Amino acid sequence: MTTFEPLDHTPRAINVANVLRRAIMSGSLLPGSPLREAQIAADMNVSRAPLREALRTLEEEGLVTRIPYRGAFVASVGPEVIEEVASLRVRLEPYAAELSLPYFQKAGFGELHKAADDIEARSKAGDLPGMIDAHLGMHRLFYLRSNHSLLMNCWRSWEAQLRLYLAIDHSSFTSHDVVILAHRRLLSLYEQADMTKFAEELRTHVEVSAHAVSQAQSED
């Protein structure tokens, strides 16, 4: 059973949400796990009010689901959702990257290099949630810098599902070198403005990850 340490004096609801989020992203709380309010509140030495506010925040992020008369649970991402998100990403992300390319050619590729460096640094530090943050952060930049609000809304609509399935995907690796190198290759092709090869590399990156997660779930 996962237990939680008492919290410090930072805003309680935010702190509770941060602790639970990291437990979910690290795999300490698995998809489908019940989030028992009494136990969590006692472990963290908080009242139910900030805990419930934190759970609402995580529900909005797609990390928690509520079932009437049963309570809150860590959200699950089924194979169908994984495949659907992957099918959209391989089509929309190259377009987002193409739209954002003029921005990076003018401003420089520093943001993307920092994100790629963060992926490697977090991996070497054994910080799985931080690595997932950096991984998502690199891909998010293509949408953010595209200056296309609907594309950005698409990203936001599936980011929570991506967090959940990357937690499954990345936790299955004994080494994250394959993830690190894949993002270095993507960035190199992008800097060369070779969008055809970039799209091919991205498709491989997305589909291999989606297949691995679907397979891992089917074996559970």
pLDDT at 194 over 80: yes
Mean pLDDT of the chain: 88
| pLDDT value, residue 6 | 67
| pLDDT value, residue 170 | 67
119: left (phi over 0), alpha (psi -120 to 50) or beta: alpha
Structural tokens at position 215: 């397979």
Whole-number Å distance between alpha carbons of 167 and 160: 11
Considering the domain architecture, whether residues 110 and 93 belong to the same structural domain is answered as yes
48-60 helix and 37-44 helix, angle to the nearest 10 degrees: 110
Containing structural domain, residue 69: 12-74
User: Of 32, 49, 74, which residue sits at a domain end?
Assistant: 74
| pLDDT value, residue 82 | 86
Considering the domain architecture, whether residues 198 and 93 belong to the same structural domain is answered as yes
In a domain? residue 5: no
SS3 assignment, position 72: strand
Considering the domain architecture, whether residues 143 and 54 belong to the same structural domain is answered as no
More reliable by pLDDT, 62 or 113: 113
Read off the pTM.
0.77
Considering the domain architecture, whether residues 56 and 87 belong to the same structural domain is answered as no
User: Of 74, 96, 119, which residue sits at a domain end?
Assistant: 74
pLDDT at 172 over 80: no
Q: Given pLDDT bands bounded at 50, 70 and 90, which one contains residue 24?
A: confident
Structural tokens at position 50: 């900030």
User: Of 26, 43, 74, which residue sits at a domain end?
Assistant: 74
In a domain? residue 56: yes
Torsion angle of the four alpha carbons 128, 178, 186, 134, in this order, in degrees rounded to the nearest 10:
10
CATH code: domain of residue 51:
1.10.10.10
Considering the domain architecture, whether residues 108 and 42 belong to the same structural domain is answered as no
Considering the domain architecture, whether residues 57 and 115 belong to the same structural domain is answered as no
Over range 82-94, report the average pLDDT: 94
In a domain? residue 135: yes
**pLDDT tens per residue, range 49-77:** 999 999 999 998 888 999 999 999 998 87
In a domain? residue 92: yes
DSSP summary character for residue 34: E
The number of domains in the chain is: 2
